[in-house]
Structure 1
């Protein structure tokens, strides 16, 4: 059954709403969400009718689209999925979907090798592998790094659209340390992936500093039509993150030279997979290799260095060396405790 673009936008919007367990959705709420989505994506300012959304929910429940969505109504008022792990995005691809994807792959492969499209190589390989395994019902021949239980990925498209359309959003966010969520009036600039986890970079209303938030801690996103998007034409992600390992960078923080030693056995791993693009070899001797990188000193850097255990020694700066040493002593104390 062919699906037009507007209907697909409504289905995806309803899916995002019904997956959001932090909010109760009435039929009126779903109608408003669909109307807003069509306005944001297609510029359609005519609201979605009650009957249209009711029919959408009925179709999603049925097998006509292959969704068989477990949509339930609780307290005779609130709509949700009976299965909290369900999403229409998880259903198997149809033959029509596979055919369309195959055509897309063939087009993308024509651009592989061009300098402006260097980053699409991995994407094309992922698509080819997905199509192959779906068509042949066989196991994957490429095992990419992934985290199938990663939360927050359903926010990616909403945030992406907000960035390219320069829209302010109200974002409910709860850090791991906070007991309750708080609302940020958010001017989003950049989506960034680090170690298979996604982050959004933004400037909050009333402040000038950048803040990076993890998508897996976002509870809800709403468009704010009252505020004007604050552009930052001076922001360059390559410059901003060029001296950063990970995503953490405080305002005014300067990069420092970090010098560390790696033993002979493990040095080849660091040479072939540098910790940072600024990495150089200062000297080599029979017991190991001394490296230097120029980076912002942050939590991600410390975690990376600690991951080498006793194979690596931080030589300078002194403050970083002392923190690493203290962390290793604290770790050793756990193992030395009796019981």
Structure 2
């Protein structure tokens, strides 16, 4: 059981004791009550220390969690609320708090059909009931595609990463003639452009496997899991998208964007390294420092005639060749 859940059980138990008008609770009594409550939920002996309960009481008294509970010690021995009607469950919610929670529920409902969040449906319904959220049309729409192939594997992969399990995956890339079995150590799930990828260790190297190319997944109980201790921010820090090369160094990519469309690139940078090199009446020259990969090319091509790659020369020539081939499609 998580420490956060333990704390919530203790707060709930302390609240029940402190508002009881017919029984006097000493600190030792409160410790025993909390220990019994945890035993009831966990099903095993769970002793709560004196210091833990003292800190819980201190937290309930403070503004830390918004309780500001009126806890008093009377006869230098017994604990109770000075206000007999007080409870941590009766904290008043302001109109702005209610609006914020309603908005949060609307966002959570965007995920209601997504496999990874199915178990949240009951929680979302409870939130709606508890804050008496009015039925309103969604005003925030997140881009998602429930029909995307491979989404059914997200739960399995997530649990494998969480529980550090080795997997056997039957995988067929777009270029392979037939599927192959791969024994992998899953490290991270990555979403980019509405597609999901598994970053995993295979034969000592990191691989990027698209979920829509997976055919079967089984847990390998006989292999020992290797934790690569992957830092996602650092791993993807020098790329656009999900394709990372362990051998390629990032390059300065300079590109010109016409005046009309430069504001779009300014307000939504291609990469966190983006900077402006020059700006005049015709447009803006930007620079990003990234690895040259497929996703970078897709972003550049997405700007069409409004963007021109200046350097590196290798990327400029590749974009020129790609666009010429595209024009031929229309010539025919």
2:172 matches 1:209: no
Q: Show the 5 A alignment for 1:69-88.
A: none
* Cα contact 2:254–2:309 (8 A) shared by 1: yes
Distance of aligned partners of 1:274 and 1:333 in 2 relative to their CA distance in 1, 3 Å threshold: same
For residues 34-78 of structure 1, the C-alpha deviation after alignment (integer angstroms, 9 at most, x for no partner) is xxxxxxxxxxxxxxxxxxxxxxxxxxxxxxxxxxxxxxxxxxxxx
Name the residue aligned to 1:318. Answer: 313
Name the residue aligned to 2:240. Answer: 245
Q: How many Å separate the matches in 2 of 1:123 and 1:165? A: 29
Superposition deviation, residue 214 in structure 1: 0.8
2:288 matches 1:288: no
Name the residue aligned to 1:62. Answer: none
Superposition deviation, residue 128 in structure 1: 5.0
Superposition deviation, residue 227 in structure 1: 0.9
2:314 matches 1:327: no
Q: Show the 5 A alignment for 1:56-95.
A: none
Superposition deviation, residue 179 in structure 1: 2.9
TM-score, normalization by structure 2: 0.61
Instruction: Find the partner of 2:107 among 117, 121, 126.
Output: 126
Name the residue aligned to 1:149. Answer: 147
Q: How many Å separate the matches in 2 of 1:149 and 1:279? A: 34
SS at match of 2:310: strand
Q: How many Å separate the matches in 1 of 2:319 and 2:156? A: 39
Q: How many Å separate the matches in 2 of 1:124 and 1:327? A: 45
Superposition deviation, residue 162 in structure 1: 0.7
SS at match of 2:260: coil
Over the aligned positions, Cα root-mean-square deviation in angstroms equals 2.9
Q: How many Å separate the matches in 1 of 2:178 and 2:235? A: 30
Distance of aligned partners of 1:123 and 1:331 in 2 relative to their CA distance in 1, 3 Å threshold: farther
Superposition deviation, residue 208 in structure 1: 2.4
Instruction: Find the partner of 2:221 among 211, 219, 225.
Output: 225
Larger radius of gyration: 2
Superposition deviation, residue 312 in structure 1: 0.3
Q: How many Å separate the matches in 2 of 1:253 and 1:123? A: 41
Return 5+ residue gaps in structure 2 as ranges.
Answer: 1-92, 113-123
SS at match of 2:146: coil
SS at match of 1:150: coil
Q: How many Å separate the matches in 1 of 2:315 and 2:269? A: 19
Return 5+ residue gaps in structure 1 as ranges.
Answer: 1-105, 114-120
The number of residue pairs the alignment matches comes to 219
Name the residue aligned to 2:292. Answer: 297
Q: How many Å separate the matches in 2 of 1:217 and 1:122? A: 36
* Cα contact 2:106–2:138 (8 A) shared by 1: no
Q: How many Å separate the matches in 1 of 2:215 and 2:136? A: 36
Name the residue aligned to 1:175. Answer: 173
For residues 209-240 of structure 1, the C-alpha deviation after alignment (integer angstroms, 9 at most, x for no partner) is 2110111111111000111111223x321111
2:180 matches 1:185: no
Superposition deviation, residue 283 in structure 1: 0.7
SS at match of 1:269: helix
Superposition deviation, residue 142 in structure 1: 2.4
Superposition deviation, residue 290 in structure 1: 0.2
Distance of aligned partners of 1:122 and 1:286 in 2 relative to their CA distance in 1, 3 Å threshold: farther
For residues 84-128 of structure 1, the C-alpha deviation after alignment (integer angstroms, 9 at most, x for no partner) is xxxxxxxxxxxxxxxxxxxxxx9xx98xx9xxxxxxx99754215
